[in-house]
Amino acid sequence: MRRRLAAPLLTTVLAATAALLPAASAEAAPADKAAVLSSWTQTSAASHQAFTAARADRDAWSAYGFDWSTDYCTTSPDNPFGFPFSPACARHDFGYRNYRAIGAFDANKARLDDAFHADLKRVCAAYTGFKRTSCDATAWTYYQAVDKLG
């Protein structure tokens, strides 16, 4: 008797849990790849945090076929003057590589570069005084490089 009740109850609980998951979960259909990609490449801190969480659990997103590879800040220092820019560079690479793969790079390049700059400015916000000024100037230089040459 116990087993007859346990199986339907478990099925009901799992179904209810699945219904409460966000639409862009790892179980979402790959047909929403562009929407997921877009959600991870916006200028907001929330978008950056969502990307960082997904990158930490890449296997959960394997059905999407995302290119997670990165060379970080390419030929520029990844952490210039000690400023940790490499996570921003990784997200920027992710956007560039994946939008190129779906043939939508030109339509999204400006936003990807703006998101990169926003990520860099968030890094700089942790500093004050001369260090903040130096970080902001370095962030602006990195942004200009990707804007003009990326």
**Token representation of residue 34:** 């562009």
From the list 64, 41, 66, the residue with the least C-alpha distance to 52 is: 41
Q: What is the pLDDT along the chain (150 residues), one digit of tens a residue?
A: 444 444 444 334 333 333 333 444 445 448 999 999 999 999 999 999 999 999 999 999 999 999 999 999 999 999 999 999 999 999 999 999 999 999 999 999 999 999 999 999 999 999 999 999 999 999 999 999 999 998
Tell me, yes or no, if 117 is annotated catalytic: no
- Rounded alpha-carbon distances, angstroms, from residue 14 to 1, 19, 20, 28, 57: 21, 9, 10, 16, 22
pLDDT digits (tens, 9 = 90+) for 55-74: 999 999 999 999 999 999 99
pLDDT value for 18: 38
Rg (alpha carbons) of the chain, rounded to whole number: 20
Which residue out of 83, 92, 94, 95 is catalytically annotated?
A: 92
pTM: 0.80
What is the fold, at CATH topology level, of the domain defined by 31-149?
Phospholipase A2 (1.20.90)
